[in-house]
Chains A and B, each alone.
Chain A
Amino acid sequence: MSLYEPHADMTDTGTSRSIPDRLTSPLRRNLLGWESLLLIVGIAIFILNSFASPYFLSAWSLSDATFNFTEKAMIAFAMALLIVAGEIDLSVASIIALASTAMGAAATAGAGTPVLVLIGLGTGLLCGAFNGALVTRLGLPSIVVTIGTMSLFRGISYIVLGDGAYRGYPATFQWFGQGYVFWVISFEFALFAVLAVIFGILLHKTNFGRAVYAVGNNPTAALFSGIRVQRVKMTLFLLTGLMSGVAAICLTARLGSTRPSIALGMELEVVTMVVLGGVSILGGAGSIPGVVIAAFVLGLVTFGLGLLNVPGIVMSIFTGALLIGVIALPRLIAKWRK
């Protein structure tokens, strides 16, 4: 995303990436970090919610609230890595539509649950491979490629389905979206938690994760230090496609039907979640814990407003303002301090 650098990098001499004279202590760094700021916002929203509606503070309603963000967050984890590496995938919601359509067609033809899952994941991987090949082999900017595939993938769904819909998924399949593994812990939430840990380890504890940061910060330097830049990017596109496939399985199973308009506009919510989580849209910086907290914050906001009968479209004012506000605040504070 280095294409969208604001002019600020030219006028400000002290950017966040300059090397400090003295390292701040880990405690201080964590207390003043993005994640803690976000956590405070989240807690404030939680408290506000519990005052705003008497129905909020119950285990089941909190469990319901998690469905607001689990599917988006699954994609957001992979998207976070992709954005850290300096690319973006705007086609994720359309991949969901295409994967869901493929599963619907298979289910109508009488396929069982394991086959449906394989088809969902496979479609996701294929779409990711298509995006990745266009970006890494042809050297095209990912934002344009994925704006194109965003229309293309959903377009194929429209060609197949028109204004129709697929229904009639097997009951065992619907468990992925409606089942509970333990008490109020839904399958989706459990999967979300497991994926959060996996992606956290992948980005923060492995060589691959370090390569992702390196590619995002300086692809040329990364290449000369022996990182296969294009392969890293290709892997990330595949991963994003795969996670979109996973989300497609969960969402389709939860809704129990497929329409071509499924998950419409979700790509923007996913990007919002990632950016709110402190991932730099310019690449090179960000963390999975931040994305996890952002997922909770966004989920709580939409659920809390939903309990107050605020229409979805008005909620979008809050999420939009939250996105701009949370990013603007630290920048404005830094400006005033100077």
Chain B
Amino acid sequence: MNIRNIPREAILGLVIVALCGVIAARFPAFVRPSNLLSVATDTAPLIMLALGQFAVILTRCIDLSVAANLALTGMICALLNMAMPGFPMVLMLALALIVGAFLGAVNGALVWKVGIPPIVVTLGTMTVFRGIIFLLSGGSWVNAHEMSDSFTQFPRIPFLGVELLAWIAVIAVTGVYLLVTRTPLGRAFYAVGGNPHAAVYTGIDVGKTQVLAFVLSGALAGMTGYLWVARYAVAYVEIANGFELDVVAACVIGGVAIAGGAGSVGGVVLGALFLGVIKNALPVVNISPFWQLAISGAAIIIAVALNARSNRPKGRIILKKAEHTHEPV
């Protein structure tokens, strides 16, 4: 069997299992089910953000504002909880979803209606969102004692032995999976990224599709924002600073083509889990957490290099594209 025919998800899955195996050889406690479950739960925010980013990248865009969106929505929820401790948590979750979706729609509208490249738009909104958090909070922190118990306990509510946060991630994964594989919108995401010109001719509104991808990404980021703030019981300006790069990294490691149009939900989840396992394993195997950044950086580079190798067009190519030439330079 040719190695190229093995699905990338399977390879990535094996890599993660092998990684766990190596760690388990010295530290068996790491692969105890309870610990693996907590690793998965810790990775849930990354998974949810990566799912949104996945949709955005599919449509040939990129959303660098997700972490700022998460922080802003989280701060809004924390401030609302301070003002109205009795506000029901299910409504809070819905509110976070709506606020996040609105922020995502702002990105989408600037891309669609004004025609600014997505990377520029989200670079700008990223800093603007962070600034707005400062304006709302006055730069101060919202600490655990200022939050109501129901607020901070919500993501930790156990159901069948698993925290609600993990269940919400499961629902998000299932929802996005059904969306991209079973609905016209999901096909439109792929079509827009695969070939925008052809997508127009098949009657797909490219701009609208991209806006919806941004809204999805924003909604997931916003919802995660509340869960994040509640779980760690603190809200401040710099929450999840730089997290957007982890999110993009999870997608890239999961085999989502940065050029759009290719990738799968399974890959994204595994990509996020891979980063999650590394992050959680380092303290266990007594490696300084300062190694984490370099390791995830190396992982991104290796993953993207491997992706590129397996994506080489097969068969004879008469005219190579300039970007892919490997003539002596």
Chain A interface (Cβ < 8 Å from any Cβ of B): 1, 3-8, 10-12, 134, 136-141, 143-145, 147-156, 158-159, 161-163, 219-220, 222-223, 228-231, 234, 260, 268, 271-272, 275, 281-282, 311, 313-321, 323-324, 327-328, 331-332
Does B10 sit at the interface, judged by CB under 8 A? Answer: no
Instruction: Collect the chain B residues with CB atoms within 8 Å of residue A318's CB.
Output: 131
Q: How far is the CA of A150 from the CA of B298 in the complex (A)?
A: 10
Q: Is the CB of B46 closer than 8 A to any CB of chain A?
A: no
Closest to B205 in A: A7
CB distance from A322 to the nearest CB of B (A): 8
Shortest CB-to-CB span from A127 to chain B, Å, is: 12
Bound complex: CA of A68 vs CA of B112, how far in Å?
A: 34
| Contacts A219-B323, A319-B127, A324-B124; A158 near B304 (Cβ below 8 A) | no
Complex contact B323–A148 (CB within 8 A)? no
Known: A3-B60, A158-B293. 11 other contacts (CB 8 A): A5-B60, A7-B207, A155-B296, A229-B323, A260-B290, A313-B130, A313-B237, A314-B135, A317-B128, A320-B131, A324-B121
Given contacts A4-B62, A137-B326, contact A152 B114 (CB under 8 A): no
Chain B min CB distance to A51 (Å): 23
CB distance from A325 to the nearest CB of B (A): 9
- C-beta contact mask, B285-306 vs A, less than 8 Å → 1, else 0? 0001011111111111100110
* Shortest Cβ-Cβ A-B pairs, 4 listed: A155-B294, A151-B297, A317-B131, A152-B297
Interfacial chain B residues near A147, Cβ < 8 Å: 245, 248-249, 252, 300
Q: Return 14 A-B CB contacts under 8 Å, by A number.
A: A6-B115, A10-B196, A10-B206, A141-B258, A147-B252, A148-B299, A151-B297, A155-B290, A163-B290, A311-B134, A313-B130, A318-B131, A323-B127, A324-B124
Q: Is the CB of A323 within 8 A of B124?
A: yes
Interface string of B83-96 (1 = CB under 8 A from A): 00000000000000
Chain B residues in contact with chain A, CB under 8 A? Answer: 60-62, 110-112, 114-121, 123-128, 130-135, 139, 192, 196-197, 200, 206-207, 210, 237, 245, 248-249, 252, 258-260, 288, 290-301, 304-305, 308, 321-327, 329
Q: Does A134 lie within 8 Å of B294, measured CB to CB?
A: no
> CA–CA, A158 to B287, complex, Å?
12
Main secondary structure of the interface of B (DSSP, over half): helix
Nearest neighbor of B192 in chain A, beta-carbon distance: A7
Tell me if B117 and A6 are in contact (CB < 8 A): yes
Provided the pairs A138-B305, A140-B304, A324-B110 are in contact, do residues A3 and B259 lie with their beta carbons within 8 angstroms? yes
Name the residue on B nearest A235 (C-beta).
B329
Closest to B312 in A: A139
CA distance A268 to B327 in the complex (A): 33
Tell me which of B130, B197, B294, B298 contacts A316 (CB under 8 A). B130
Flag if B249 contacts A6 (CB, 8 Å).
no
Q: Assess whether B304 is in contact with A144, with CB atoms less than 8 Å apart.
A: yes
Within the complex, which residue of A144, A154, A222, A272 is in contact with B123, where a contact is CB–CB below 8 Å? A272
Residues of A within 8 A of B117 (CB): 1, 4-6, 281-282
Residues of A within 8 A of B299 (CB): 148
Residues of B contacting A282 in the complex (Cβ-Cβ under 8 angstroms): 117
Output the nearest chain A residue to B119 by Cβ-Cβ distance.
Answer: A4
Q: How far is the CA of A155 from the CA of B289 in the complex (A)?
A: 10
CA distance A316 to B139 in the complex (A): 14
Q: Could you tell me the distance between the alpha carbons of A144 and B249 in the complex, rounded to whole angstroms? A: 8
Residues of B within 8 A of A327 (CB): 116, 120
User: Are B120 and A324 touching (Cβ within 8 A)?
Assistant: yes
* CB proximity of A236 to chain B, nearest CB, Å: 12
Q: Which residues of A contact B291 (CB under 8 A)?
A: 155, 158-159
Could you tell me the distance between the alpha carbons of A324 and B131 in the complex, rounded to whole angstroms?
A: 15
A11 — which chain B residues lie within 8 A by C-beta?
Answer: 207
A315 to chain B, nearest CB (A): 8
User: A231 to B327, alpha carbons, bound, how many Å?
Assistant: 10
Nearest opposing residue in chain B for A328, CB measure: B114
Q: Which residues of B contact A231 (CB under 8 A)?
A: 329
Nearest-neighbour CB distance to chain B for A321, whole angstroms, equals 6
